[in-house]
Structure 1
């Protein structure tokens, strides 16, 4: 049986800090527990490295410990919280004159890896659009929704870009659309034949919803005003559920699917960057990971030497 670690040299300061959080700052038990857990981890390391006091710890030592804990599997999010706990603890010690500086003040946790975007495969997108197309014949709102979904997938628009579209945003027989993206950056992107057909079908129905408030907005709500982002999100989720999609579908998922499928077919990262309106190609590169995942899945399934026995 292991001997318990001896924290007696530095536990009193932690106890005083926890009491300060509990009684003076009146933090919740959950928050206090998180601080206690983080500082206990540090105290364990202090014992292992023969550190005798909080005053003795230097920034370089904390950086080494962060690297160690990261290697042991502590996530970037947890490390960031631990740094925050240490920073505040040392501020407390400084206010009491028990340390001369705050070694955690300039610490930074390793960057958190961005999660890969979730996409639908081409068959799933086709199923979603075909299901909606079958319902749009006698319903102007579903005719509008079909044009919206087709345009998301055809041109990779952001939600805000699509809701802001006006009638004069299209050119060359609806084969191109001009959008204003982030930081007011303008770009022109192609519109595929399926999306053009859906748009023309919707524009034939659009006069049924026209009011004095409609203006030049392409997509209108039932009361005749420009459709809101929330309405689009809700309608897409509803249709995805009805079509039996295995995940919750949102507008940006269609943009992700557009980028992933285009890159998978063309391999042209620069072109996809331009179509998406990314100012930095590193933002677009996340889709190369999706493409590799697809290739790896095909390999694992098809290659005779890849199959597990």
Structure 2
């Protein structure tokens, strides 16, 4: 039987650090915070890449605060069954930092896709997220990493 590839704790930290890019210029720094949040959603909550790109603001925030549990509706899950995932401390912190660095989020409707730029245009695709995670794998670990590895890591 094939054992799924996972990341150990050190590799998880290295990958998340590579996603964050704290030393980048401000615009890239904001993207780094977004990418870090995406990585946390996969590592800390076990979300699939398709679920991540389909998340709405109302899945992540309530009244300007991070939710305590992610309620993934049947509309966005692969098997079309709703599931609830508790929000870890690291994920909560990532959600708070994302909100702080994107002050315009206050004016966005709850059913807006979380990664929309300019309220509705240029959403992230699954392929873009795959590339973001893969590049961070090369930068932080010196090897490729795919989003499903993060889900397997969460499950172990």
Category of TM-score, reference length = shorter chain: 0.7 to 0.9
Partner of 1:129: 16
Return the match for 1:185 from 81, 96, 111: 81
Whose RCO is larger (CA < 8 A, sep 6+)? 2
Partner of 1:229: 126
Partner of 2:49: 159
Counterpart check, 1:116 vs 2:3:
yes
Who wins on radius of gyration, i.e. which is larger?
1
Hey, which of these two has a bigger chunk of helix by percent? 1
- Native 8 Å contact 1:136 1:143 kept in 2: no
TM-score, scaled to structure 1: 0.42
Deviation sequence 1:80-104 (CA, Å, 0-9, x none): xxxxxxxxxxxxxxxxxxxxxxxxx
Q: How does 1:259-274 map to 2 (within 5 A)?
A: 259-260=155-156
- 2: distance between equivalents of 1:217 and 1:206? 14
- Native 8 Å contact 2:21 2:32 kept in 1: no
CA RMSD, 1 decimal: 3.0
Where do 5+ consecutive residues of structure 1 fail to align? 1-112, 261-309
Deviation sequence 1:214-247 (CA, Å, 0-9, x none): x61112358943211111111111111111x254
Counterpart check, 1:175 vs 2:68:
yes
Return the match for 1:217 from 95, 113, 119: 113
Partner of 1:255: 151
Local SS of the residue matching 1:123: helix
Where do 5+ consecutive residues of structure 2 fail to align? none
- 1: distance between equivalents of 2:130 and 2:18? 18
Local SS of the residue matching 2:123: coil
Give the drift of 1:152.
0.8
Q: How many pairs are equivalent?
A: 145
TM-score, scaled to structure 2: 0.78
Return the match for 1:202 from 94, 98, 106: 98
Query: 164-173 or 197-206: which moved more?
Result: 164-173
